[in-house]
C-alpha cells in the first residue's frame, strides 16, 4: 500500500478530565477504517497527540508508506511540523513517540483543517468518552 489519509482528533472533558482519541483512515481504494481509544484522565492537547499516535500505529499495521494527517488543532500541527516549541514535558514525550513511529514511513505530513471538516474523528472521540467516562 502506498498513500494513506488519516483524520485524527482528541478531546478531554474538563481539561484535564476523561479523554479519548480517534483516527479515521482513508485508503486509496476509498475503504474507510475507524479507530478510537479511551485515555483515562488527560488534557485536550495530550488527547490530540494520542490521536496521531493511534493513527500511526494503525497505519503501520496496514503497511502504509506515506501518510497525510489532518487535525483540527493548529497548535499540535505547528508543533509536529516543528514551527512551535513544545513547553509541556508530557507533550514532549508524545512528540518523541510520534517522531519514532514516523520513522517507519517514507513520508508523514501534518495539516491543519477547521473543526467542521473533522467531524468523523470528533464523533469517535465523543463516543469513546461517553462509553467509558461513566465507569
- Compute the C-alpha angle 63/67/70, nearest 5°: 135
What is the domain-level CATH number for residue 38? 3.30.420.10
Q: What is the pLDDT of residues 21-36, one digit of tens each?
A: 999 999 999 999 999 9
Number of domains in the chain: 1
**Residue ranges making up the domain that contains 103:** 3-132
Give the pTM. Answer: 0.96
Q: What is the pLDDT of residues 85-111, one digit of tens each?
A: 999 999 999 999 999 999 999 999 999
Nearest to 67 by CA among 95, 25, 31, 29: 25
φ/ψ bin of 63: left (φ > 0), alpha (ψ from -120 to 50), beta (otherwise): left
What band does 77 get if pLDDT is binned at 50, 70 and 90?
very high
Amino acid at each position: 500500500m502506498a498513500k494513506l489519509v488519516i483524520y485524527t482528533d482528541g478531546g478531554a472533558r474538563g481539561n484535564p478530565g476523561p479523554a479519548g482519541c480517534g483516527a479515521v483512515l482513508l485508503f486509496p481504494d476509498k475503504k474507510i477504517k475507524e479507530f478510537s481509544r479511551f485515555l483515562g484522565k488527560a488534557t485536550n492537547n495530550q488527547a490530540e497527540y494520542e490521536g496521531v499516535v493511534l493513527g500511526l500505529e494503525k497505519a503501520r499495521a496496514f503497511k502504509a508508506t506515506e501518510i497525510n494527517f489532518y487535525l483540527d488543532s493548529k497548535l499540535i500541527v505547528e508543533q509536529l511540523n516543528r514551527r512551535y516549541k513544545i513547553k509541556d514535558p508530557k507533550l514532549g514525550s508524545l512528540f518523541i513517540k510520534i517522531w519514532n513511529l514516523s520513522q517507519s514511513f517514507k513520508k508523514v505530513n501534518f495539516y491543519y483543517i477547521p473543526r467542521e471538516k473533522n467531524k468523523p474523528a470528533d464523533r469517535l472521540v465523543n463516543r469513546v468518552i461517553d462509553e467509558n467516562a461513566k465507569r
